[in-house]
Amino acid sequence: MTTNQQFLPAIDKLTGRDNYVTWQFAVRAYLEHEGLWDCVTGSATDAKNLVKAKSKLILLIHPTNYVHIKKCTSAKEIWDTLQAFFSDSGLTRRVCLIRTLTTTKLIDCANVEEYVQVIMNAAHKLQAINCDVADEWIGTFMLAGLPEYYHPMIMAIENSGMSITGDAIKTKLLQDVKSETSIIEVSAASDQIKQLSVTDSITSGKDKTPMCLVNELARFNKIQHQYRLTGEQGPAHKKRFTVTLKLGDEEYSSDGTSIKKAQHLAAADAITKTQYKHPPAKSNRKN
Protein backbone atom coordinates (compact mmCIF):
# COMPACT_ATOMS: atom_id res chain seq x y z
CA MET A 1 0.00 0.00 0.00
CA THR A 2 1.35 3.43 -0.94
CA THR A 3 1.87 6.28 1.48
CA ASN A 4 -0.93 8.26 -0.21
CA GLN A 5 -3.39 5.39 0.30
CA GLN A 6 -2.47 5.21 3.98
CA PHE A 7 -2.77 8.99 4.39
CA LEU A 8 -6.52 9.30 3.78
CA PRO A 9 -9.46 7.00 4.56
CA ALA A 10 -11.86 5.60 1.96
CA ILE A 11 -14.36 8.46 2.30
CA ASP A 12 -16.06 9.88 -0.76
CA LYS A 13 -15.07 13.51 -1.22
CA LEU A 14 -17.64 16.20 -0.55
CA THR A 15 -19.32 17.02 -3.85
CA GLY A 16 -22.33 19.01 -2.68
CA ARG A 17 -25.54 18.97 -0.72
CA ASP A 18 -26.45 15.47 -1.89
CA ASN A 19 -23.63 13.77 0.03
CA TYR A 20 -22.94 16.42 2.68
CA VAL A 21 -24.73 14.62 5.53
CA THR A 22 -22.93 11.31 5.03
CA TRP A 23 -19.64 13.09 4.37
CA GLN A 24 -19.96 15.14 7.55
CA PHE A 25 -20.70 12.03 9.62
CA ALA A 26 -17.81 10.02 8.17
CA VAL A 27 -15.26 12.83 8.37
CA ARG A 28 -16.12 13.63 11.97
CA ALA A 29 -15.60 9.97 12.88
CA TYR A 30 -12.28 10.00 11.03
CA LEU A 31 -11.03 13.16 12.75
CA GLU A 32 -12.11 11.81 16.14
CA HIS A 33 -10.18 8.62 15.42
CA GLU A 34 -7.11 10.69 14.51
CA GLY A 35 -7.44 12.80 17.67
CA LEU A 36 -8.04 15.93 15.61
CA TRP A 37 -11.70 16.70 16.29
CA ASP A 38 -10.80 19.34 18.89
CA CYS A 39 -9.22 21.30 16.01
CA VAL A 40 -12.71 21.63 14.54
CA THR A 41 -14.44 22.50 17.79
CA GLY A 42 -11.89 25.23 18.42
CA SER A 43 -10.44 23.84 21.63
CA ALA A 44 -7.10 22.66 20.18
CA THR A 45 -3.90 24.60 20.70
CA ASP A 46 -1.28 22.33 19.17
CA ALA A 47 -0.06 24.13 16.02
CA LYS A 48 1.01 20.93 14.28
CA ASN A 49 -2.40 19.30 14.79
CA LEU A 50 -4.20 22.45 13.65
CA VAL A 51 -2.32 22.37 10.36
CA LYS A 52 -2.83 18.62 9.97
CA ALA A 53 -6.60 18.86 10.59
CA LYS A 54 -6.97 21.66 8.04
CA SER A 55 -4.98 19.73 5.43
CA LYS A 56 -6.97 16.53 5.91
CA LEU A 57 -10.27 18.39 5.57
CA ILE A 58 -9.20 20.09 2.35
CA LEU A 59 -8.08 16.79 0.81
CA LEU A 60 -11.48 15.25 1.62
CA ILE A 61 -13.30 17.93 -0.37
CA HIS A 62 -13.85 17.77 -4.12
CA PRO A 63 -11.87 20.49 -5.94
CA THR A 64 -15.10 22.02 -7.28
CA ASN A 65 -15.87 23.12 -3.72
CA TYR A 66 -12.50 24.74 -3.02
CA VAL A 67 -14.02 28.08 -4.02
CA HIS A 68 -16.03 28.06 -0.77
CA ILE A 69 -13.04 27.55 1.51
CA LYS A 70 -10.12 29.32 -0.18
CA LYS A 71 -10.12 32.10 2.39
CA CYS A 72 -10.51 29.81 5.42
CA THR A 73 -7.50 29.76 7.72
CA SER A 74 -8.41 26.89 10.05
CA ALA A 75 -10.16 23.51 10.17
CA LYS A 76 -12.91 25.06 12.29
CA GLU A 77 -13.51 27.81 9.76
CA ILE A 78 -13.63 25.27 6.91
CA TRP A 79 -16.08 23.09 8.83
CA ASP A 80 -18.35 26.00 9.75
CA THR A 81 -18.27 27.40 6.22
CA LEU A 82 -19.26 24.09 4.64
CA GLN A 83 -22.00 23.59 7.20
CA ALA A 84 -23.45 27.03 6.50
CA PHE A 85 -23.29 26.43 2.75
CA PHE A 86 -24.55 22.84 2.46
CA SER A 87 -26.65 22.21 5.58
CA ASP A 88 -30.00 23.56 4.42
CA SER A 89 -32.45 23.26 7.30
CA GLY A 90 -35.08 25.63 5.91
CA LEU A 91 -38.75 24.84 5.40
CA THR A 92 -38.35 24.08 1.70
CA ARG A 93 -35.62 21.53 2.43
CA ARG A 94 -37.70 19.84 5.13
CA VAL A 95 -40.78 19.69 2.91
CA CYS A 96 -38.72 18.17 0.07
CA LEU A 97 -37.23 15.47 2.31
CA ILE A 98 -40.56 14.64 3.96
CA ARG A 99 -42.15 14.36 0.51
CA THR A 100 -39.39 11.94 -0.54
CA LEU A 101 -39.90 9.92 2.62
CA THR A 102 -43.66 9.63 2.24
CA THR A 103 -44.13 9.28 -1.51
CA THR A 104 -41.25 7.08 -2.68
CA LYS A 105 -42.54 3.84 -4.22
CA LEU A 106 -40.66 0.65 -4.99
CA ILE A 107 -42.04 0.59 -8.53
CA ASP A 108 -40.36 3.95 -9.18
CA CYS A 109 -36.92 2.64 -8.16
CA ALA A 110 -34.53 0.42 -10.10
CA ASN A 111 -34.51 -2.24 -7.37
CA VAL A 112 -35.17 -2.87 -3.68
CA GLU A 113 -31.67 -1.74 -2.69
CA GLU A 114 -32.21 1.68 -4.28
CA TYR A 115 -35.70 1.95 -2.73
CA VAL A 116 -34.38 1.27 0.77
CA GLN A 117 -31.45 3.64 0.28
CA VAL A 118 -33.67 6.53 -0.89
CA ILE A 119 -35.93 6.28 2.16
CA MET A 120 -33.13 5.78 4.69
CA ASN A 121 -31.13 8.68 3.21
CA ALA A 122 -34.15 10.99 3.43
CA ALA A 123 -34.68 10.01 7.08
CA HIS A 124 -31.00 10.55 7.95
CA LYS A 125 -30.97 13.96 6.25
CA LEU A 126 -34.05 15.00 8.23
CA GLN A 127 -32.36 13.93 11.44
CA ALA A 128 -29.26 15.91 10.48
CA ILE A 129 -31.32 19.13 10.32
CA ASN A 130 -32.98 18.39 13.68
CA CYS A 131 -36.24 17.15 12.17
CA ASP A 132 -36.45 13.74 13.79
CA VAL A 133 -38.77 11.11 12.38
CA ALA A 134 -39.72 8.27 14.73
CA ASP A 135 -38.06 5.00 13.72
CA GLU A 136 -41.43 3.27 13.63
CA TRP A 137 -42.62 5.77 11.01
CA ILE A 138 -39.56 5.16 8.85
CA GLY A 139 -40.35 1.45 8.79
CA THR A 140 -44.03 2.18 8.15
CA PHE A 141 -43.26 4.47 5.20
CA MET A 142 -40.99 1.75 3.79
CA LEU A 143 -43.85 -0.76 3.94
CA ALA A 144 -46.37 1.74 2.56
CA GLY A 145 -44.39 2.17 -0.66
CA LEU A 146 -44.41 -1.53 -1.50
CA PRO A 147 -46.62 -2.90 -4.32
CA GLU A 148 -49.65 -5.10 -3.69
CA TYR A 149 -47.84 -8.43 -4.00
CA TYR A 150 -45.91 -7.64 -0.80
CA HIS A 151 -49.18 -7.65 1.16
CA PRO A 152 -48.71 -11.21 2.48
CA MET A 153 -45.30 -10.24 3.83
CA ILE A 154 -46.79 -7.20 5.57
CA MET A 155 -49.50 -9.41 7.08
CA ALA A 156 -46.86 -11.85 8.30
CA ILE A 157 -44.90 -9.03 9.94
CA GLU A 158 -48.03 -7.76 11.65
CA ASN A 159 -48.97 -11.22 12.93
CA SER A 160 -45.44 -11.95 14.15
CA GLY A 161 -45.41 -9.04 16.61
CA MET A 162 -42.13 -7.85 15.10
CA SER A 163 -41.09 -4.30 16.04
CA ILE A 164 -41.51 -1.95 13.12
CA THR A 165 -38.31 0.05 12.69
CA GLY A 166 -36.47 1.38 9.67
CA ASP A 167 -33.56 -1.00 10.17
CA ALA A 168 -35.83 -4.01 10.77
CA ILE A 169 -37.86 -3.47 7.60
CA LYS A 170 -34.72 -2.65 5.59
CA THR A 171 -33.14 -5.93 6.69
CA LYS A 172 -36.35 -7.85 5.92
CA LEU A 173 -36.60 -6.42 2.41
CA LEU A 174 -32.95 -7.00 1.56
CA GLN A 175 -33.17 -10.57 2.86
CA ASP A 176 -36.26 -10.99 0.71
CA VAL A 177 -34.26 -9.97 -2.36
CA LYS A 178 -31.60 -12.59 -1.61
CA SER A 179 -34.30 -15.19 -0.98
CA GLU A 180 -36.02 -14.34 -4.25
CA THR A 181 -32.79 -14.95 -6.17
CA SER A 182 -32.33 -18.36 -4.58
CA ILE A 183 -36.04 -19.12 -4.95
CA ILE A 184 -35.87 -18.68 -8.70
CA GLU A 185 -32.84 -20.96 -8.87
CA VAL A 186 -34.43 -23.63 -6.65
CA SER A 187 -37.80 -23.32 -8.33
CA ALA A 188 -36.24 -23.84 -11.74
CA ALA A 189 -35.19 -27.29 -10.56
CA SER A 190 -38.63 -28.29 -9.25
CA ASP A 191 -41.17 -30.16 -11.35
CA GLN A 192 -43.70 -27.42 -10.95
CA ILE A 193 -41.47 -24.68 -12.25
CA LYS A 194 -40.14 -26.89 -15.03
CA GLN A 195 -43.59 -26.71 -16.51
CA LEU A 196 -42.92 -23.03 -17.14
CA SER A 197 -40.99 -24.04 -20.24
CA VAL A 198 -44.31 -24.11 -22.05
CA THR A 199 -44.50 -20.36 -21.64
CA ASP A 200 -41.46 -19.92 -23.88
CA SER A 201 -43.84 -20.20 -26.80
CA ILE A 202 -46.18 -17.69 -25.15
CA THR A 203 -43.78 -14.97 -24.04
CA SER A 204 -40.37 -13.88 -25.19
CA GLY A 205 -39.34 -13.01 -21.61
CA LYS A 206 -37.46 -16.20 -20.78
CA ASP A 207 -35.81 -14.61 -17.77
CA LYS A 208 -39.05 -13.30 -16.26
CA THR A 209 -40.20 -14.68 -12.92
CA PRO A 210 -43.55 -16.46 -12.57
CA MET A 211 -44.94 -13.46 -10.69
CA CYS A 212 -43.94 -11.17 -13.54
CA LEU A 213 -45.64 -13.48 -16.04
CA VAL A 214 -48.82 -13.43 -13.94
CA ASN A 215 -48.74 -9.62 -13.93
CA GLU A 216 -48.54 -9.60 -17.73
CA LEU A 217 -51.29 -12.20 -18.09
CA ALA A 218 -53.59 -10.23 -15.78
CA ARG A 219 -53.00 -7.00 -17.71
CA PHE A 220 -53.59 -8.75 -21.04
CA ASN A 221 -56.92 -10.20 -19.85
CA LYS A 222 -57.88 -7.05 -17.90
CA ILE A 223 -58.46 -8.99 -14.70
CA GLN A 224 -57.43 -8.45 -11.10
CA HIS A 225 -54.91 -10.62 -9.27
CA GLN A 226 -53.99 -10.73 -5.60
CA TYR A 227 -51.73 -12.82 -3.35
CA ARG A 228 -53.03 -13.66 0.13
CA LEU A 229 -51.28 -15.36 3.01
CA THR A 230 -53.74 -18.12 3.87
CA GLY A 231 -51.77 -20.34 6.22
CA GLU A 232 -48.73 -20.77 8.45
CA GLN A 233 -47.51 -23.92 10.12
CA GLY A 234 -44.45 -25.26 11.89
CA PRO A 235 -42.12 -23.86 14.57
CA ALA A 236 -40.68 -20.36 14.27
CA HIS A 237 -37.33 -21.59 12.95
CA LYS A 238 -38.91 -23.87 10.34
CA LYS A 239 -42.16 -22.28 9.23
CA ARG A 240 -44.02 -23.05 6.06
CA PHE A 241 -46.33 -20.50 4.49
CA THR A 242 -49.34 -21.01 2.26
CA VAL A 243 -50.16 -18.30 -0.26
CA THR A 244 -53.28 -18.20 -2.41
CA LEU A 245 -53.25 -16.36 -5.70
CA LYS A 246 -56.65 -15.14 -6.89
CA LEU A 247 -56.38 -14.59 -10.64
CA GLY A 248 -59.69 -13.31 -11.94
CA ASP A 249 -62.16 -16.11 -11.12
CA GLU A 250 -59.40 -18.69 -10.56
CA GLU A 251 -57.46 -19.50 -7.40
CA TYR A 252 -54.12 -21.26 -6.96
CA SER A 253 -52.50 -22.14 -3.63
CA SER A 254 -48.94 -23.21 -2.88
CA ASP A 255 -46.78 -23.45 0.18
CA GLY A 256 -43.09 -22.82 0.75
CA THR A 257 -40.45 -22.08 3.35
CA SER A 258 -40.93 -18.34 2.76
CA ILE A 259 -43.82 -16.18 1.63
CA LYS A 260 -41.96 -15.18 -1.50
CA LYS A 261 -41.27 -18.79 -2.48
CA ALA A 262 -44.94 -19.65 -1.95
CA GLN A 263 -45.92 -16.68 -4.12
CA HIS A 264 -43.61 -17.81 -6.93
CA LEU A 265 -44.93 -21.37 -6.77
CA ALA A 266 -48.55 -20.21 -6.83
CA ALA A 267 -47.76 -17.96 -9.79
CA ALA A 268 -46.01 -20.81 -11.62
CA ASP A 269 -49.01 -23.06 -11.04
CA ALA A 270 -51.32 -20.37 -12.39
CA ILE A 271 -49.24 -19.80 -15.52
CA THR A 272 -49.32 -23.49 -16.47
CA LYS A 273 -52.97 -24.20 -15.56
CA THR A 274 -54.92 -20.99 -16.19
CA GLN A 275 -57.77 -20.95 -18.67
CA TYR A 276 -57.14 -17.30 -19.43
CA LYS A 277 -55.40 -16.38 -22.66
CA HIS A 278 -51.67 -15.74 -22.54
CA PRO A 279 -50.21 -12.59 -24.09
CA PRO A 280 -49.03 -13.18 -27.65
CA ALA A 281 -45.36 -13.93 -28.13
CA LYS A 282 -43.14 -11.01 -29.10
CA SER A 283 -41.40 -11.93 -32.31
CA ASN A 284 -37.71 -11.13 -32.61
CA ARG A 285 -37.40 -9.90 -36.17
CA LYS A 286 -33.99 -10.09 -37.75
CA ASN A 287 -33.13 -7.86 -40.64
3-class SS letters over the chain: CCHHHHHCCCCCCECCHHHHHHHHHHHHHHHHHCCCHHHHHCCCCCHHHHHHHHHHHHHCECHHHHHHCCCCCCHHHHHHHHHHHHCCCCHHHHHHHHHHHHHCCHHHCCCHHHHHHHHHHHHHHHHHCCCCCCHHHHHHHHHHCCCHHHHHHHHHHHHHCCCCCHHHHHHHHHHHHHHHHHHHHHHHHCHHHHHHHHHHHCCCCCCCCHHHHHHHHHHHHCCCEEEEEEEEECCHHHCEEEEEEEECCEEEEEEECCHHHHHHHHHHHHHHHCCCCCCCCCCCCCC
pLDDT tens, the chain, 287 aa long? 444 445 667 899 998 887 888 898 899 999 999 999 999 998 989 999 999 999 999 999 999 999 989 999 999 999 999 888 877 666 777 888 889 999 998 888 878 888 898 899 888 888 877 788 898 999 999 999 988 878 888 888 888 888 899 888 888 888 876 555 444 444 444 444 444 444 443 444 455 788 888 988 999 999 999 988 888 887 766 778 899 999 999 999 998 888 888 888 999 999 999 999 998 876 554 44
Q: What is the pLDDT of residue 209?
A: 81
Q: What is the pLDDT of residue 35?
A: 94
- Model's pTM, two decimal places? 0.46
Q: What is the pLDDT of residue 172?
A: 86
Q: For each of the domains in the chain, give its residue range(s) and CATH number, in order of start.
A: 3-86 (no CATH), 91-178 (no CATH), 187-273 (3.30.160.20)
Q: What is the pLDDT of residue 284?
A: 52
